[in-house]
Amino acid sequence: SAVISQKPSRDICQRGTSLTIQCQVDSQVTMMFWYRQQPGQSLTLIATANQGSEATYESGFVIDKFPISRPNLTFSTLTVSNMSPEDSSIYLCSVKAGGPQETQYFGPGTRLLVL
Amino acid sequence: AQTVTQSQPEMSVQEAETVTLSCTYDTSESDYYLFWYKQPPSRQMILVIRQEAYKQQNATENRFSVNFQKAAKSFSLKISDSQLGDAAMYFCAYRSLGGGADGLTFGKGTHLIIQP
């Protein structure tokens, strides 16, 4: 398994500003994922972040809005840029771990409210 | 693209009874993983059970078991002897096997209520 922490756990931001969310894993992992969970909704994959390469974004998500860094095998950041109230969501970091089991584990999430 | 459908927005069960949550999916792939995740009010996503599509045997984890019907593309979760702590949102999820598409595709979730 993998233990994942995220910072901040929650934040309230003004529209037009940016917020960077940090994700730290207790072991080295190749793949890290960022998901968004809008209020009362399911999880949607934003992007996949591999160390040493550009993140791969899913349809509907762009790098200018959600830039991602992956400086090493245990850490990643997601920035939500130029925020609007529609960005109010829970943002979850996830990693694939466990060798052949290939299970995805999730962080506790960052709850973001944009006013 | 793969899709995952959970047709039951909410289910209610009496404590100690058995409940089955439904999940269907659509894919053209032959190899993949299926998961059930639990999200309690704390919002932490917790893996409940995992099924590899190439395995015919249904996965079991204590009180949790699945009924995996590959031809029908069905993946239901059975919870036996329901406990109050089982109350949560349950999400069915799909993941491709290889090919670079390693993210999960989630269903909309089923809210499970446990009646004491």
Which structure tokens are listed for A63?
């790098």
pLDDT digits (tens, 9 = 90+) for A32-42: 999 999 998 99
User: Could you tell me the pLDDT band of residue A99, with boundaries at 50, 70 and 90?
Assistant: low
Q: A8: cis peptide before it, omega within 30°? A: yes
Q: For the beta carbon of residue A20, count every other beta carbon within 10 angstroms.
A: 13
* Residue ranges of chain B whose CB lies within 8 Å of a chain A CB: 33, 35, 37, 42-45, 47, 50, 91, 95, 100, 102-109
Give residue for tokens 């960052």: A110
CB contact under 8 A, B106 and A44: yes
Tell me: pLDDT of B15 over 90.
yes
pLDDT digits (tens, 9 = 90+) for A16-26: 999 999 999 99
Which structure tokens are listed for A39?
């209020």
Determine the distance in angstroms separating the CA of B65 from the nearest CA of chain A, rounded to an integer.
Answer: 17
CB contact under 8 A, A33 and B102: yes
Question: Is B110 within 8 Å of A42 (Cβ atoms)?
Answer: no
User: Could you tell me the pLDDT band of residue A53, with boundaries at 50, 70 and 90?
Assistant: confident
pLDDT digits (tens, 9 = 90+) for B64-112: 999 999 999 999 999 999 999 999 999 999 998 766 667 899 999 999 9
Q: Is B68 helix (H, G, I), strand (E, B) or coil?
A: strand
